[in-house]
């Protein structure tokens, strides 16, 4: 079984024997046999981390230097969609813009 499904461990093998094949076998026995055979679950390869950005980080050391923009979408009780746009100054944490509307275009 491990050759066919290398990502399954002893628990999955025990469940297959017990429930699919109908063999009454203890989970501890399957675990002991699994270890004696030197079987191991093949681990998934690690994902690469994202590289460092080439754009330098801008520090908000004064007002009006760094602004944060956020778009949110929600729905009302009657099921219609509303859009929320907000802009915050990162240094002062003051809200510069709040728009709540069903449609937000570039003119708003």
Do residues 8 and 15 lie in contact, with contact meaning Cβ atoms separated by under 8 Å? no
Q: Is 31 helix (H, G, I), strand (E, B) or coil?
A: helix
Nearest of 15, 36, 39, 40 to residue 25 by alpha carbon: 15
Structure token pair of residue 87 = 């802009």
| CA 88 remoteness from chain centre | 26
User: Please, which pLDDT band fits residue 52 given cuts at 50, 70 and 90?
Assistant: confident
Across all residues in the chain, what is the average pLDDT? 88
Task: Give dist(CA 84, CA 92) in Å, integer.
Answer: 21
Q: Which pLDDT tens digit goes with each residue over 20-31? A: 899 999 999 999
Do residues 58 and 77 lie in contact, with contact meaning Cβ atoms separated by under 8 Å? no
Q: Which pLDDT tens digit goes with each residue over 54-67? A: 888 889 999 999 99
């Amino acid at each position: 079984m491990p050759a066919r499904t290398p990502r399954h461990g002893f628990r999955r093998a025990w469940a297959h024997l017990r429930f699919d094949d109908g063999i009454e076998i203890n989970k501890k026995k399957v675990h002991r046999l699994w270890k004696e055979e030197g079987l191991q679950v093949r681990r998934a390869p690690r994902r690469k981390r994202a590289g460092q950005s080439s754009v330098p980080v801008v520090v908000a050391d004064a007002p009006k230097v760094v602004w944060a923009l956020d778009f949110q979408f929600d729905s009302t009780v009657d099921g219609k969609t509303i859009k929320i746009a907000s802009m915050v100054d990162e240094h002062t944490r003051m809200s510069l813009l709040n728009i709540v509307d069903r449609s937000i275009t570039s003119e708003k």
